Amino acid sequence: MKILIFQPMLKQYRMPLFELMGEMLGQSGHELRVVCGTPPVHERNKGDNVLVSSGYCVVDHSLWLFSGKLHILPSAVRHIVWADFVITEQANKHFHNYLLMLMHWLGCKRFAYWGHGQNRQGDPHSFRERIKKILSTQVDWWFAYTSGVAEYIAGLGYPKAKITILNNSIDTSCFKEDLAAHSGGAVDDLKVRLKIPRSARVGLYCGGLYSDKKLRFLLDAAIAVKEVKSDFILLVVGDGVDRKLVEDYSRQYEFIKYLGPLFGADKALIFRVAEVFLCPGLVGLAILDAFSAGLPLLTTDIPNHSPEIEYLEHGINGMITAPDIKVYSAAVCQCFGDGALLSVLKKGALESSARFSIENMASNFVDGILRYLGSA
């Protein structure tokens, strides 16, 4: 069978997944083709897109209209005709999704959705989300990012037996190699350069600097922690529109150290210095970096987390508190003040890293495809 996966653009972090899936499907006698569009300008500026065809992935030119609300992939029809089974991102903006629905209703093409199920950062009562709910059940199979997404789709009336849970992940193998390559001496040297006392208790935020991440909450909570734990240091890594806010706090408070964006071995070394990962705002795939480094993640109970928040188990691999600065800062202090608790959380984080791996995601994806093909 010929399997086609549509992606609006090809992110670098998705390449290992598709390589693994292509190899697994090939061993079962199936052929994989991943067709990706080119990113709109605001996405291209992030510098994390693959713009040239490679391996199982074909990059074709996209048209983005109405400020990105409509995505047209002119080559879509040719690829759809080639395929026996099509998997596409669940999103209203893709014109090829409507072609697939029409062909599905006519009985001449089988296709599946994969994705979040709903836009957790949007208005659930908006017209777009109401349309998405209706269209979400008009497919032959579903590949849900997480078990929570699967429950949501089943709640719309879609058969549970036709839903595969992927446990969305990224390839953290290189990051883990970088972590392992740093000796205790390298950690000590970095602390000297950053003027961090050897005995300091260190929290880390690493990610985009924008409003959904609740950075002012994070920084004010750090001040509250400092009042209780005088040896506390907060490291902030990343870039974005709220960079000036972080810079302003770091100039005013010496214990808040803004390090800018870091990647590869430099990023890994910062994770080695830290003891906990602090992200009171939106949690997404960064949780996997934290777990890979054995860092418990501390966040707050807010409605707009990405599906990966489901990987956090309170008291096992991290903590989730009320969205209140006093409550959140108290939880951070509790971690630093209770060595047994921190050890349990660190152990749980490492174990979760193994469970939510890119290899497991690829296996889940391929198993779901084979289940569908076997039932069709």
Are both 2-169+357-375 and 173-355 of the same fold?
yes
pLDDT band at 79 (very low <50, low <70, confident <90, very high): very high
Q: For position 121, what pLDDT does the model report? A: 55
Q: List, for residues 165-221, the tens digit of each pLDDT value.
A: 999 999 999 999 999 999 889 999 999 999 999 999 999 999 999 999 999 999 999
Tokens of 266: 């430099």
Q: Is the pLDDT of residue 29 over 90?
A: yes
Tokens of 292: 């890979």
107: left (phi over 0), alpha (psi -120 to 50) or beta: left
Least confident of 123-127, 251-255, 280-284: 123-127
Tokens of 121: 């950062």
CATH topology assigned to domain 173-355? Rossmann fold (3.40.50)
The mean pLDDT of the chain is: 93
Q: For position 116, what pLDDT does the model report? A: 85
Q: For position 375, what pLDDT does the model report? A: 80
Q: For position 36, what pLDDT does the model report? A: 95
Tokens of 307: 């599906």
How much is the average pLDDT of 25-43? Answer: 92
| Domain ranges for the chain | 2-169+357-375, 173-355
- Say if strands 276-278 and 2-7 run parallel, antiparallel, or are unpaired: unpaired
Tokens of 51: 């713009």
Instruction: Please tell me the class of the 2-169+357-375 domain.
Output: alpha beta
How much is the average pLDDT of 260-270? Answer: 94
Q: List, for residues 288-347, the tens digit of each pLDDT value.
A: 999 999 999 999 999 989 999 999 999 999 999 999 999 999 999 999 999 999 999 999
Q: Is the pLDDT of residue 130 over 90?
A: no
Question: What is the spatial distance between Cα 315 and Cα 40, in angstroms, rounded to a whole number?
Answer: 41
Q: Can you list the alpha helix ranges (DSSP code H) found in the chain?
A: 15-27, 41-44, 76-82, 95-105, 127-135, 147-155, 173-181, 184-193, 215-228, 243-252, 264-273, 286-292, 325-337, 339-355, 358-375
Can you give the pTM of this predicted structure?
Answer: 0.86
